[in-house]
Structure formats: C-alpha cells, structure tokens
C-alpha cells in the first residue's frame, strides 16, 4: 500500500432528506459556515426526531445562500432547503407555484444538519483485547495493497463468526495488516535492467514474486527484509498502543498470522536466527573433527595458529561493535510477546530442515520454537498447497505417519474440541498392529470415533482398494472376516477407543461412514499408541470440497486462506480460548 494511494476520510455535516447521503464537501462547508454565522445563538428543537416529510407551506425564507449551481433557503433554524438553479428547475418551480404549490414542496430538497440517528456512547466499538498482525508473503510488490484487502476479508469473516459464536465473550479481536515489502530498496530494480524483453509479462511476475525468496536467501539482502518486517511490526504496535493506552494496562494479547515466506521471516525475527551463527557452528564442528583425526606436528601447529587467529578476529569484531554501537550482531527484537503464531501455507518446515533441524524425542514445541518466545505455534495448510510443509514430524519423527488435524467446517454443529481429537495413522501398511481372531471389540475404532474415515483426498482409487483387499486375503484374512471384524463389531458393540493421551475424544458424525459402504484403504488404521506424543497438535489441515479438483486446487489453494470462514473460526477458537474456558467454568459453577 503506497503512500500516494490515499483514501480521504471526510466528516459528514449536511445530509439529504430521505436518502441521508452527505452533500459534497465544498458545498457542505459553505452551508455550515453560513448556518453558524446566521443562527449561532439559536437553539434546535429539544427532540432529535425530525418530521422528514413536513412541508413548508407559504412560509417565506428568512435567509438564502447562493452556490455555484444551487441555492439554499432557510425557513427556520432547522428547516433548510436546497434548490437547483438549472433552467429546467426554474421553469418547473414557476409552473408549480402558479398552480398553488409552495416552492419547497414543488422542487426543494430538505437538508438536515447531522445524521438521522443520534450518536450514543453505546455506538463505540468494543475495546480491543487481542490484536492480530497479518503478515504477507511473496508477491506484494506485484500487487501493492493486496494485504490490505486480504486482511479486510479475514476481518469481515471474523466479525461474522464472532457475532455467531463468541458474542457473549469479552474478547474482541482486531486484525491489522503489516505491509513490509514496498518500503525496501534491495537492488534498486537492477534485476529489471537485465531481464530479457521476450516473455516480459511472465518474467515480471517472477521478478515481483518468486524473487523475494532469492532475496531472503541472499546474505546481502536478508537483513534488509528481516529489519523491514521487524520495524513495521514494532511501529504498528507502538501506534496502536498510543491510540489505545489501556491495551497494555489491561493485559492485551498479540498474535501473528503469517502467510508463505512471511512465516519464515516472522519465525527468524522471534527466534533471532542468523545464518552467521549457523556458519560458526559448522566451523566449530569442523574443528572438533580435525582434533579427533591424526595429523603431523607441523599440521597441528598450523591448525592451532588458525584457531588463535579466528579467536582474535572474533574478539576484534566484538570490540568494534561496542565502539560503533551497532546493532548488526543483535537479533531482531519485538516490543511485544507473541501469544499465538499462526502459519498459513508455510514453507517454514523446509527451511528448518535445510538449516539442520532434525526430529527429537521430547514431543515439545520448544524443539523448534520455545514457548518462552511464543505460547502456541499452529501450522495451517490446504492439502493441495504446493508451498506448505508440515512441522510435527520435525519434533517427533513418527508423526509423519499421523494425519494432521482436520479443521472444522464453520457450519458444523457442536464440533469436538481440537484437544479431544485423537491422532490417527495416515498409512495402514505402516501400522504396527493388526487384526487377529483374539482381538477384542474395544480395539476396533468405531465410525463415530474415526473422523478421518471419509477423507477423500487421502483415499485410494477403486483399483487400489481392490489390491489392498487381495493383499489382505493373501496373508490369511478373508474378505468376509475382514468386513465382519471391521464393521460388524463396531456396530454391535460399544467400542472403547484406545487412549492416545490424557485428552478424550468426540466423533464427527458428519464424516462417519455407514454400514455397507466399504471404507477407503487407509481407514482400517486405528488410533496411535506411541511412547511419546506431542504436548499439543501443531499441524492443522483444511478440508477439501466434495467436488474440488486437486490440480486446480494446487494453483488456487495457496491464496485461498484469506476468504475461508473455516480459517476465521479456527483463529478465533484459539484466540478466545481462555475466555471461553472461563465462561464454561462460570456456567458450571452456576449450575
């Protein structure tokens, strides 16, 4: 959004009767000035309710004002009429007055000073208790101001969801767009000078979008992108607090919603990650490997001299930074604590892998983003988004075979809480358990406890289902026995699903299969019994439409997050979570 594209905000003073549209600013200012000069000490009627259709009969004008194309007559302090001075209007007035009609009732337009409804204290918007900074990704240079429109769509959807589901809560969320790209200089459009003329339009699109990724991986321009976003976040937060001084005093919270490359830049700002630090770690690793290897006396002396030189260089650089008071070596710092970090269509997982991050064994978010920096990390993606990557397998490796949590449709009635949705296997062939004759009915997940049974986009074709059935028959499981063990007991007994953790589970009847409809090949998978589980889920996946084309979705899905009502409900669910729990607790106490 460039500063040259300014949208004027005008104050309405005089309005047209009936439509209540404001007059043009120039005419309105002239009428207001004349009105104050003529009726400064006179009072309006006590009641603000105006008789809109009350004509002025035979009453002479007590004051008039000539405008460029119109003139205004005052019959009293609150009876003001606007007349057109066009020739046709004059003729019409003459004819109607000859017939006995008054001037005002024949061709005049009544004006009102002030709007039809009087402002009250209740008209003020509720105080904002949670602000959300919306950060764009690549392509902003090509379509400046797009993040403003996208944020407006997300805000409008959130307002509808807020009124429908969270109207009784004290939390009021405000979405603020963060446009950081247009203020950057970078190479000064030197890339455009070396761009060939052939296929110019396509090359311009690539230069204005995909080139941002190359800028960010460049050691020359990376810091400019990081500082640009960091400074804009801090500027907007400071500006918001100056206009809402009670926000910090009342414990206002801040979340960030980032899209595409913006997720990576935001992550690096919060964690202070710097490629120089990674380079130093690689040098240290090489030094340790050299120390463990055999070398001659002369080589070892040279190596020790190299170590001493590097140490002297580091100390010199530190002293130089202290003398010049530079902030180059300091990690970017935000002026606020991030409550929730929502990533949409994020390549962050791929960047972390390229930086050497590997799965751990703790199951904690701290493995990739410490909770002291951000309380909750949530990774949202469309299953067909080619830019998005998962994050959970970077914390625990076996979660690569666990389905991401499906985001509820906003129209779903009483959906189960996300904390109560158990993890399920993605590929049944990798499932460590199998069905046996001695298997109890409690080990079979019922349709009401398997929300992933009808997942269309992970399902196989009819041919693949047949291959799975034949494979099952080849290892001694007859088709009849498999169908009986899969469906018969799940509907004739009351199953007790395997415990996947401390959370309970509730089913999603909307996605449950029916008897006589064979499930897709992956649906025979049960719930996970892993020695280590995530403290809370991070990967959340949008549901595909029933008639959605996967190839078309691959093109459109990366920009489909902004207008999604499901996303709006998901964001508010987590941002209003504390207030919702307090409200539920108070209701229980009342009962």
**Euclidean distance between CA atoms 442 and 494, whole angstroms:** 8
**Euclidean distance between CA atoms 130 and 252, whole angstroms:** 6
* Dihedral, 434, 435, 440, 444 alpha carbons, nearest 10: 80
256, 135 contact by CB (below 8 A):
yes
At CA 302, angle to CA 297 and CA 303, rounded to 5? 95
**Euclidean distance between CA atoms 244 and 283, whole angstroms:** 48
345 φψ region: left (φ > 0), alpha (ψ -120 to 50), beta (else)? left
| First-residue to last-residue Cα distance in the chain | 52
Phi, psi angle pair for 360, to nearest 5°: -110, -155
Tokens of 248: 């910090």
362: annotated active-site residue: no
| Residue 570 CB partners (closer than 8 Å, separation 6+) | 380, 407, 408, 540
Rg of the chain taking only CA atoms, in angstroms: 34
Tokens of 530: 């892993």
**Euclidean distance between CA atoms 416 and 44, whole angstroms:** 58
132, 122 contact by CB (below 8 A):
no
**Euclidean distance between CA atoms 85 and 66, whole angstroms:** 9
Burial (CB count <10 Å: 0-12, 13-18, 19+), residue 108: buried
In eight-state DSSP terms, residue 294 is -
The angle, 0 to 180 degrees and rounded to 10, between the axes of the packed helices 297-324 and 275-292 is 160
**Euclidean distance between CA atoms 389 and 348, whole angstroms:** 7
Classified as helix, coil or strand, 480 is: helix
538, 391 contact by CB (below 8 A):
yes
Burial (CB count <10 Å: 0-12, 13-18, 19+), residue 291: exposed
Phi, psi angle pair for 7, to nearest 5°: -105, 115
The full DSSP string for 91-153 is HHHHHHHHTT--HHHHH-EEEEES-SS---GGGSPPPP-EEEEEE--TTTTTSTTHHHHHHHH
Classified as helix, coil or strand, 524 is: helix
Strand partners, 113: 14
- Could you say which of 260, 450, 553, 564 is catalytic? 260
Sign of torsion, CA 150 151 157 161? positive
Catalytic residues: 260
């Amino acid at each position: 959004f460039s500063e040259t594209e300014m949208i004027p905000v005008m104050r309405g003073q005089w309005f047209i009767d009936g439509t209540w549209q404001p007059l043009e600013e120039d005419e309105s200012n002239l009428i207001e000035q004349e009105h104050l000069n003529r009726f400064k000490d006179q009072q309006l009627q006590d009641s603000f309710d105006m008789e809109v259709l009350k004509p002025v009969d035979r009453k002479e004008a007590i004051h008039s004002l000539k405008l460029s194309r119109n003139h205004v007559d005052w019959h009293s302090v609150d009876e003001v009429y606007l007349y057109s001075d066009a020739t046709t209007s004059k003729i019409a007035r003459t004819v109607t007055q000859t017939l006995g009609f008054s001037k005002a009732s024949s061709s005049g337009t009544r004006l009102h000073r002030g709007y039809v409804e009087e402002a009250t204290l209740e008209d003020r918007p509720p105080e904002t208790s949670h602000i959300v900074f919306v950060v764009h990704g690549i392509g902003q240079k090509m379509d400046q101001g797009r993040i403003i429109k996208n944020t407006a769509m997300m805000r409008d959807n959130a307002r509808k969801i807020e009124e429908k589901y969270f109207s009784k809560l004290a939390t009021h969320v405000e979405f603020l767009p963060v446009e950081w790209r247009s203020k950057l200089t970078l190479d000064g459009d030197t890339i455009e000078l070396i761009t060939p003329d052939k296929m110019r339009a396509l090359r311009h699109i690539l230069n204005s979008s995909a080139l941002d990724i190359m800028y960010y991986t460049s050691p020359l321009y990376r810091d400019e992108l990081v500082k640009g976003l960091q400074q804009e976040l801090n500027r907007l937060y400071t500006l918001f607090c100056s206009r809402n001084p009670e926000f910090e005093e009342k414990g206002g919270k801040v979340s960030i919603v980032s899209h595409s490359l913006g997720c990576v830049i935001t992550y690096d700002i919060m964690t202070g990650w710097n490629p120089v630090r990674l380079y130093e770690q690689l040098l240290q690793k090489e030094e340790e490997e050299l120390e463990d290897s055999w070398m001659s006396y002369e080589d070892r002396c040279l190596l020790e001299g190299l170590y001493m030189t590097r140490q002297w260089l580091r100390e010199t650089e530190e002293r130089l930074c202290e003398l010049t008071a530079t902030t180059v070596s300091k990690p970017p710092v935000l002026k606020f604590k991030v409550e929730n970090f929502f990533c949409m269509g994020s390549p962050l997982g791929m960047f972390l892998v390229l930086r050497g991050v590997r799965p751990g064994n703790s199951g904690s978010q701290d493995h990739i983003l410490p909770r002291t920096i951000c309380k909750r990390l949530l990774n949202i993606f469309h299953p067909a988004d080619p830019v998005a990557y998962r994050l959970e397998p970077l914390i625990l490796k076996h979660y690569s075979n666990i389905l991401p949590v499906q985001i509820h449709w906003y129209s779903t009635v009483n959906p189960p809480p996300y904390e109560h949705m158990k993890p399920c296997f993605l590929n049944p062939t990798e499932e460590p358990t199998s069905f046996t004759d001695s298997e109890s009915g409690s080990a079979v997940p019922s349709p009401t406890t398997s929300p992933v049974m009808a997942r269309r986009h992970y399902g196989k074709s009819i041919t693949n289902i047949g291959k799975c059935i034949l494979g099952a028959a080849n290892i001694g499981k007859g088709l009849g026995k498999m169908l009986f063990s899969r469906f018969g007991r799940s509907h004739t007994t009351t199953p007790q699903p395997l415990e996947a953790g401390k959370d309970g589970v509730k089913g999603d009847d909307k996605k449950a299969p029916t008897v006589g409809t064979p499930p897709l090949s992956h649906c025979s998978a049960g719930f996970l019994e892993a020695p280590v589980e995530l403290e809370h889920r991070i990967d959340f996946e949008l549901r595909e439409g029933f008639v959605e084309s996967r190839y078309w979705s691959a093109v459109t899905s990366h920009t489909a997050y902004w207008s999604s009502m499901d996303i709006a409900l998901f964001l508010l669910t987590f941002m209003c979570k504390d207030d919702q729990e307090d409200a539920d607790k108070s209701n229980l106490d009342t009962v």
